[in-house]
Amino acid sequence: MDESVPNRLPDGDTPYVELRNVVRTYRMGSTEVPALRGVSLEVAAGEFVVVLGVSGSGKSTLLHLVGGLDRPNAGSIRCGRYQLEALDTRGRSHYRRAMVGFVFQSFYLLPHLTARQNVEVGLLFRGVYGRQARQRASQVLEWVGLGHRLEHRPSQLSAGEQQRVALARAIVHQPPLLLADEPTASLDRTNATALLELLQNLRRQLPMTVIMVTHDEALVRPFADRAIRLRDGQVVPEA
Ligand SMILES: Nc1ncnc2c1ncn2[C@@H]1O[C@H](COP(=O)(O)OP(=O)(O)O)[C@@H](O)[C@H]1O
Ligand SMILES: [Mg+2]
């Protein structure tokens, strides 16, 4: 990660993800909690960007907006050909299915399903079933180094293995955009590093843009192309 690289891309590059003056305020009764206060940023196709900032700085809010899980109060968010603030609930759901893979701190695996079946879930709600889904899920589990764990249930897997199953589920439909919110926060150092190495390798082989949120700068620094820093809901300008 090169600290000298600015948040704006060189002229001529078309950003893949582009936010302009994005505002998100949560309303709690009569109080307003400003989570994002005018965020503008760009991410190029194929970039691995890490979003840094202390707890409460707006990182998850930002990721939810880019992932079409939430809407801004003001500003514009474009991802590929999708103008997100213009989409209704159905439009956002279509966008998520077509474009986005999510990984979170919690693995959210279904406990009664095997690793392979958990990954197949990523295909079922995209209309891929049966033998095709089974083969595809097995293949992607091999990519993440779990070809020997296809029939294991989450309780029979280590935390590191469970997060790799979650990663396989997130990328099984080959989304152009992978969004990861503190994906290493539930892992020890060794497994966290292994997950980042895996992600780096996958990204070399898949045409995928990655935005990862973390508060652990030291861990992720060697793996990301660029860092965007949030503080109190705003992007900290590069020094
Ligand atoms: N659903 C919500 N309702 C009210 N306030 C929220 C909600 N989600 C987040 N916030 C507030 O918005 C701010 C940013 O939160 P968040 O995006 O989760 O930050 P981070 O992921 O960097 O910890 C915090 O002050 C947080 O308390
Ligand atoms: Mg968060």
pLDDT digits (tens, 9 = 90+) for 135-154: 999 999 999 999 999 999 99
Which of 53-57, 124-128, 134-138 is predicted with the least confidence, judged by mean pLDDT? 124-128
Question: Where do the structural domains in the chain lie, given as residue ranges?
Answer: 15-106+177-235
Ligand 1 midpoint to CA 35 (Å): 6
In CATH, 15-106+177-235 is 1.10.3720.10 = no
Compute, in degrees rounded to 10, the torsion defined by CA atoms 63, 66, 67, 73. 90
Ligand 1 midpoint to CA 200 (Å): 29
Count CB-CB contacts under 10 A for residue 201. 13
Is residue 207 predicted with pLDDT exceeding 90? no
What mean pLDDT comes out for the span 14-35? 93
Cβ–ligand 1 contact at 54 (below 6 Å): no
Q: Can you tell me the distance from the alpha carbon of 8 to that of 221, in angstroms, rounded to the nearest whole number?
A: 19
Q: Can you tell me the distance from the alpha carbon of 182 to that of 18, in angstroms, rounded to the nearest whole number?
A: 21
Give the position, in ligand 1's atom list, of the atom nearest the Cα of 182.
Answer: 21
Q: In Å, what is the CA distance from 182 to each residue of 36, 106, 178, 217?
A: 18, 9, 13, 11
Among candidate residues 172, 171, 175, 179, the one with its CA nearest the CA of residue 95: 175
Query: pLDDT over 70 for what percent of the chain?
Result: 94
Cβ–ligand 1 contact at 61 (below 6 Å): yes
Q: Can you tell me the distance from the alpha carbon of 191 to that of 30, in angstroms, rounded to the nearest whole number?
A: 43
Q: In Å, what is the CA distance from 177 to each residue of 189, 206, 210?
A: 25, 11, 6
Residue of minimum CA distance from atom 26 in ligand 1: 56
Confirm whether pTM is higher than 0.75. yes
Q: Can you tell me the distance from the alpha carbon of 70 to that of 116, in angstroms, rounded to the nearest whole number?
A: 30
Ligand 2 midpoint to CA 56 (Å): 7
